[in-house]
Amino acid sequence: MYLSKQLKSDYDIIVVGAGPAGSMAAREAARRKVEVLILEKDREVGTPVRCAEGVAKKDLERILEHSVLPGWVASEISKFRLFSPNGTPVYINIDEIGYVLNRRLFDYDLALQAVGEGAQLLTHAEVYSVLHTHGKISGVKVRLAGKEEEITTPKKVKGLAKMCRELKSQGKQDEEIVQEVKKKYIESGKSEKEANSKAKSWVKHMVWDLG
pLDDT digits (tens, 9 = 90+) for 138-175: 889 999 888 898 998 876 677 777 888 888 888 888 88
Residue 90 falls inside a structural domain: yes
pLDDT score for 128: 93
What is the percent of the chain where pLDDT is above 70?
Answer: 91
Considering only CA atoms, which of 170, 139, 165 is closest in space to residue 152?
Answer: 139
Residue 1 falls inside a structural domain: no
Q: pLDDT band at 38, cuts 50/70/90? A: very high
Show the beta-strand stretches assigned E in the chain.
Answer: 13-16, 36-40, 55-56, 73-83, 89-101, 120-123, 125-133, 136-144, 147-152
- 134 and 118, same domain (yes or no): yes
**What's the structural domain count of the chain?**
3
3-state percent breakdown (helix, strand, coil) of the chain, nearest 5: 35, 30, 35
Question: What CATH number is attached to the domain comprising 141?
Answer: 3.50.50.60
pLDDT 10s digits, 89-140: 998 887 888 888 998 999 999 999 999 999 999 999 999 999 988 788 888 9
pLDDT score for 211: 42
- Region of 145 (left: φ > 0; alpha: ψ -120 to 50; beta: rest) is left
- 116 and 185, same domain (yes or no): no
State which residues form the domain around 85.
55-103
pLDDT score for 1: 55
Residue 80 falls inside a structural domain: yes
Considering only CA atoms, which of 170, 158, 155 is closest in space to residue 208?
Answer: 170
pLDDT at 40 over 90: yes
pLDDT score for 185: 82
- 123 and 44, same domain (yes or no): yes
pLDDT score for 4: 61
- 42 and 125, same domain (yes or no): yes
